[in-house]
Structure 1
Amino acid sequence: MTAILPPEVLKKSASVLELLKAAGLMVVTAESCTGGLVAGSLTAHSGSSAAVTGGFVTYSNAMKQATLGVPAEMLERWGAVSEQVAQAMAEGALARAPGAGIAVSLTGVAGPDGGSETKPVGLVWFGLQQADRPPFTQKQIFDGNRTEVRAQAVLHALKLIQDSIRV
C-alpha cells in the first residue's frame, strides 16, 4: 500500500465519501502512522472536494503540537500513541479545519520497529470528533507487516466515519 491503495480501501472510501456527501458533512483527518493515507483514499475519487476539507499529517510530536495543539505535557505523560493524544488530535483538527463537521485521527505503531511491551507493533489509537457529539476514542491492534497494519488502520478509520454518520 505504498503507492497504490488496495481495492478494498478504494471501495470503502468511495462508500464513505457518498455518505459524507449525503449527510452534508465535510471531514478532516489527523494522521500519524498512516501518513495521510485516509485523506488520500478519500481524495482518490472525483468529487471528493464536496466532502473532504483536508488533512493533517503529524508524524512527529512537534507537528502534533504545532499544527493540532496537542499539549507537550500530554505527549510526555502518555506518549504519542495513546487515547489522550488520539482525542486531542481529532479535537485539534476539527477546530482548525474551516467547514469540517467531523474529524478522525490515528496514531499508532505501524512497525516493524518501535513497539514495546505496552505499545506493541500494530497498536493504533483512533479519535473521532464531531461538533455536536462527545469525543470518541478506540484502540485496535492489527496483525501483519507495516503495509498491512496501515491498510487495516485506514479501513478502520473509514468504518468509524461511516458508523458515526449512520448513527
Structure 2
Amino acid sequence: MKAPARIRALLDAALGTPGSLRHSFAVLGTVAVATEVLLALADGVPAAATGLALITAGALVLARYVAGGAAQDSGHREPVRLLNSRAPALGGWRRIVADTLADEDGAHFATVVRPRLQRLFAARLAERHGVAMYRNPRRARSLVGAELWPWIDPEAPPPLPALPEPVLRSLLDRLEAL
C-alpha cells in the first residue's frame, strides 16, 4: 500500500467517508476550531468569545434542523404521516370510474380504484382527524362508517369483487364529508 493510500485509509477510518454524517461533523468541527484560533490570534479574547457565541448558536440551530425542527408541523403529527410520495388527488377519476363500472370481474376495482380510495381516505383521516387508518383501523372505521368500511378496509378483501355504483357514490360522498 502506497503512503497516500494509507493516509486516505486512516483519514476515512477516523473521519468517516466523505458525505457521511461523521465526516460532515468532523469537517464542521475542524472549521469551527480553526476559526476560533484565528479570531483569538487576530483580535484577542473578545473576538474569540463573540465567535464562540456565534458558533454555539449556529450549532444549536443546525442541531434543531437535523432533529426535524424545520418540518412544517414541527413533528407534532409525525405519527400520522402516511404519504411518502405526492399527495393523492382526484385527477383522472372520470376515466378510472368509467373503467371500474364497466369492469364486470372487478379486476380494475381491486388493482386501481380500491388502493386509490384507501390512500384518499387515509390522507383525509390523517389530515382532518389525526387518525392513522393503517395503525388505528377501529377509529377509522367509526369515522368512515361500518357500512362503507369493508370496501376500503386495508386488512380484509372487499365484500364483492366488483364495486356497485351506489357504493362508489356513497364512498365519494363520505370522503367529501370527512
TM-score range, shorter chain: under 0.3
TM-score scaled to structure 2, two decimals?
0.25
Higher strand share: 1
Q: TM-score, length-normalised on structure 1?
A: 0.27
Greater helix percent: which structure? 2
